Amino acid sequence: MEKSYRINNIIFTTLILLTLFTWLLGQVDIVGDITKKIDGKIFFLILLTIAVIKVQLIGDFFMHLNSVKGFWRWIITLWVILTGSFIAIAFLL
């Protein structure tokens, strides 16, 4: 059980750090500096990728889908891929 708590703490800390990172990127002063250096579409894809990673981590470790087999293991992954793809297509087109 101790190993499970340690992994969950690491994942939870990673989620917090990713959330803080995306929040910092979304601040007006930082965004102004970043968008001068990179394209807005690339910036959007970075934020979308971080969101997709966070959803996958939550599904795998806090919904415990990494331990099941078959279709239920892939349902969150398929949902994340489809939703992320539709959002990216809608934004980029």
State residue 76 phi and psi, 5-degree precision: -70, -40
User: What's the rounded Cα separation, in Å, for the pair 17 and 60?
Assistant: 18
| Averaged confidence pLDDT in the chain | 84
User: What's the rounded Cα separation, in Å, for the pair 53 and 15?
Assistant: 9
Regarding predicted confidence, which is higher, 40 or 65? 65
Q: What is the pLDDT of residues 16-43, one digit of tens each?
A: 999 998 888 777 555 566 656 677 788 8
Rg (CA), the chain: 16
